[in-house]
């Protein structure tokens, strides 16, 4: 049985170690090879300890730990670098590259946990403690991969099965049939619960804690925190930049930096940049609206401080750069030379005008600096009469684009800046660049309570799949987060109403209409006639949408959880009842009398009376002195157990009557809460 315990504990350790897979992008071949090697080394040592119990446990543990480390170093090709692995895991982006020190560190941890589980199963006086290291490792792995892809939906099934197998294998003797029945019922309920709830569990509560949040990202971008301050320098040619390349989605805006924080003067990057490999965080689950785009970029003039991509990058041909997991922005670290070219894979969220108008904008996190009175007055006028939500965003969009008399400034003398002061000038002069329009729209969307941010990038000139983008093509637009859709691009600049010109301005005809602004297809529908009823309707619509979104899923989850809880609570009483019937209907009178005694011991254990296997019937009778029928039952048990002849049939009935009296007397002296727990207590099933 010891050998079986060790084998089950090792298998549990391997399964727990595989939970590190999401931190490396999933169960890839490289990950499984290294994990399998280290866990195999640990398992071999643990099984050797079970086969040769006279080996010194300390020597076995040290030998196993060294074997795990050496195996990880050989399979990953790292030497002393394995010591840097934990730091690189905690400060790097997820998913990490399945290679080098990070993979070696994870494999060593998994191997050590497997070794600890196996040795505890072999040596510990309480073999169930062998489950502690794998479960601790599972929690660590889940936390480390919290921002990565989820574990496979099948994962809870073998986990529960191995835990139940370890529970059975840890017993010093074969369990009674009733205990097996109760254990099987409990295990079946647990497996069903794991199968149904397990895949959806991550979405039922708050996101799991990520230990990497305790350590700030070590990457410092080459530029400052407000790339938008370079807008005029790029636009006017002071800062040279020329990119060429190809893309699988012509017409895409090329994004550089996402600005999420506004202090009234500047929009700034509020990113936590971590060293990344060639696989980057996807930023959300795959969906039909997320289109994969591949682009190849070549830098012909200038240098890139922020890599240009057609959407949120998920793959990059150049490793070692910094990525912000929240926005997907890729920055060139201060200690790294900018790349001359690269290939990137990105995802772009496509949504129609109707989908955006039907969706609810997500609430803005935090608060904004108090806006000037002019901005607040303009915003109130622009959205007057429109229902709260997407309709207000559309009204504000139309006000800037077509209905408010605003002009798009293309002159060489266009002013820079995007703070509250410059927004007030925009509202007064009704002319500005995309820098000012994007800042104004995002700021006002935040004032409406919606999550909005500014994106700086390039509006490339396309010729089929080929494109050219220069500094003069610098652009800015807004992204608003919608529930169920994600971040949607919105371009509030009135480009169809230009004013001014400059010699190097790109011709309007060569600037392909971007694909990323669904509001450009907005129908010119007049606003509602009255403001007050419209706002009420909007509130009702928003409430209805919330109920629709939560309606089908929430009752199902609640009902499913309630049903599983009822089954789990009913399992111990049902198993006890089955065992009581089997004991009373034993084939021989002697076994029936002994069954009455065992049933009484179970009830005493539930009441908190110590009834260890070493105690005699007399000692148990003294310990449970409050139960008056207990001495008579003890005497009947002694006669049945030690008499050479089979006891009289009447002794069977006498013993079970006494057992019933003891049970009633014990329960009568218990508080109601303790009495309830006695019914549900699973401990007697494990005796």
- Token pair for 37: 């090697």
Q: What is the pLDDT of residue 198?
A: 46
Helix (H) or strand (E) segment spanning residue 297: strand 290-301
Phi-psi region of 442 (alpha: psi -120 to 50; beta: other; left: phi over 0): alpha
Which residue segments constitute the domains of the chain, with CATH numbers given? 2-214 (no CATH), 227-350 (no CATH), 354-454+475-505+518-539 (3.10.620), 561-686 (no CATH)
C-alpha closest to that of 393 among 351, 348, 358, 434:
358
Rounded to a whole number, what is the distance in angstroms from the first to the last CA of the chain?
Answer: 17
pTM above the 0.75 mark? no
CA distances in angstroms from 601 to 339, 680, 687, listed in the order given:
76, 16, 10
Are 50 and 83 in contact by the 8 Å Cβ rule? The answer is: no
Measured CA to CA, the distance from residue 22 to residue 141 in angstroms comes to 8
* CA dihedral (179, 180, 185, 190) positive or negative: positive
Report yes or no: 118 and 16 within 8 Å, Cβ to Cβ: no
How large is the angle between the packed helices 589-606 and 553-584, nearest 10 degrees?
140
Residue 273 phi, psi (nearest 5): -85, 130
Using DSSP, state whether 677 is helix, strand or coil: helix
Positive or negative torsion for Cα 56, 61, 66, 71: positive
| Cβ-contact 38, 71 below 8 angstroms | yes
Query: Considering only CA atoms, which of 159, 69, 162, 57 is closest in space to residue 111?
Result: 69
Q: Is the preceding peptide bond at 95 cis, omega within 30 degrees of 0? A: yes
Q: What is the mean pLDDT of each run of 10 residues along the chain (687 residues)?
A: 79 90 84 91 90 86 92 86 78 80 90 91 78 87 73 80 74 50 48 45 48 65 80 89 94 92 91 84 70 94 92 90 89 89 92 89 88 93 90 93 91 90 94 94 95 94 93 93 92 90 61 67 50 41 40 49 61 79 84 86 81 72 68 82 79 86 82 80 72
Residues 6+ apart with CB under 8 A from 277: 92, 93, 95, 96, 97, 319, 320
Q: Looking at residue 508, what is its pLDDT?
A: 47
Taking CA atoms, 497 is separated from 252, 294, 401, 430, in Å, by 22, 33, 8, 11
**Residue of 6, 17, 70 lying closest to 39 (CA atoms):** 17
Q: At what angle do helices 434-447 and 373-383 cross, to 10 degrees?
A: 80
488, β-bridge pairs: 480
Closest among 106, 100, 107, 108 to 81, alpha carbons compared: 100
Within its chain, how far is the Cα of 378 from the centroid? 41
């Amino acid at each position: 049985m010891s050998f079986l315990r060790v084998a089950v504990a090792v298998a549990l350790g391997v399964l727990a170690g595989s939970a590190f897979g999401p931190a490396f992008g999933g169960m890839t071949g490289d990950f499984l090879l290294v994990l399998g090697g280290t866990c195999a080394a640990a398992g071999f040592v643990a099984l050797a300890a079970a086969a040769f119990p006279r080996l010194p446990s300390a020597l076995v543990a040290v030998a196993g730990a060294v074997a795990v480390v050496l195996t990880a170093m050989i399979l990953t090709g790292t030497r002393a670098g394995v010591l840097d692995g934990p730091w690189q895991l905690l400060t790097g982006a997820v998913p990490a590259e399945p290679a080098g020190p990070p993979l070696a560190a994870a494999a060593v941890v998994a191997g050590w946990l497997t070794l600890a589980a196996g040795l505890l199963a072999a040596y510990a006086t309480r073999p169930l403690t062998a489950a502690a290291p794998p479960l601790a490792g599972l929690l660590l792995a889940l936390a480390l991969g919290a921002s990565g892809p989820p574990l496979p939906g099948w994962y809870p099934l073998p986990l529960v099965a191995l835990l139940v197998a370890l529970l059975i294998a840890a017993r010093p003797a074969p369990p009674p049939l009733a205990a097996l029945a109760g254990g099987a019922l409990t295990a079946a309920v647990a497996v069903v619960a794991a199968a149904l709830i397990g895949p959806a569990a991550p979405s039922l509560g708050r996101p799991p804690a990520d230990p990497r949040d305790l350590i700030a990202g070590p990457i410092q971008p080459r530029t400052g925190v407000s790339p938008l301050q370079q807008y005029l320098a790029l636009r006017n040619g002071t800062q040279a930049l020329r990119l060429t390349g190809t893309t699988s989605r012509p017409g895409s805006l090329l994004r550089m930096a996402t600005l999420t924080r506004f202090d009234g003067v500047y929009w700034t990057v509020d990113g936590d940049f971590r060293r990344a490999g060639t696989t980057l965080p996807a930023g959300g689950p795959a969906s039909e609206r997320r289109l994969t785009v591949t682009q190849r970029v070549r830098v012909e003039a200038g240098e890139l401080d922020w890599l240009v991509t057609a959407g949120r990058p998920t793959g990059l041909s150049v490793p070692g750069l910094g990525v912000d997991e929240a926005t997907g922005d890729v920055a060139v670290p201060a200690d790294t030379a900018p790349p001359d070219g690269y290939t990137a894979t990105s995802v772009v969220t496509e949504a129609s005008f109707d989908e955006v108008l039907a969706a609810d904008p997500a609430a803005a996190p935090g608060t904004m600096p108090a806006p000037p009175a002019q901005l607040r007055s303009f915003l109130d006028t622009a959205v007057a009469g429109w229902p709260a939500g997407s309709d207000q965003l559309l009204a504000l969009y139309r006000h800037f684009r077509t209905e408010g008399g605003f002009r798009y400034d293309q002159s060489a003398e266009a002013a820079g800046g995007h703070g509250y002061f410059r927004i007030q000038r925009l509202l007064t002069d009704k002319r500005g660049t995309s820098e000012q329009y994007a800042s104004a729209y995002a700021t006002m969307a935040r004032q409406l309570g919606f999550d909005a941010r500014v994106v700086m990038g390039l509006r490339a000139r396309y010729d089929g799949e080929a494109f050219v983008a220069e500094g003069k093509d610098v652009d800015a637009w807004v992204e608003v987060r919608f529930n169920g859709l994600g971040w949607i691009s919105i371009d509030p600049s009135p480009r169809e109403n230009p004013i001014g010109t400059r010699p190097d301005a790109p011709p309007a005809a060569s600037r392909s209409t971007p694909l990323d602004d669904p509001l450009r297809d907005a129908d010119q529908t007049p606003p509602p006639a009255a403001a007050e009823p419209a706002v009420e309707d909007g509130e009702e619509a928003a409430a209805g949408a919330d109920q629709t979104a939560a309606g089908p899923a929430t009752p199902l989850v609640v009902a499913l959880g309630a049903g599983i809880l009822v089954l789990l609570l009913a399992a111990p009483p049902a198993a006890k009842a089955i065992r009581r019937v089997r004991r009373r209907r034993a084939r021989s009178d002697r076994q029936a009398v002994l069954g009455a005694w065992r049933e009484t011991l179970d009830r005493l254990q539930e009441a908190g009376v110590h009834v260890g296997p070493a105690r005699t019937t007399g000692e148990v009778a003294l310990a449970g002195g409050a139960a008056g029928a207990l001495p008579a039952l003890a005497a009947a048990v002694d006669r049945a157990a030690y008499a050479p002849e089979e006891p009289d049939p009447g002794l069977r009935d006498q013993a079970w009557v006494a057992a019933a009296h003891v049970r009633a007397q014990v329960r009568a002296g218990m508080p109601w809460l303790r009495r309830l727990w006695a019914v549900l207590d699973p401990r007697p099933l494990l005796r």
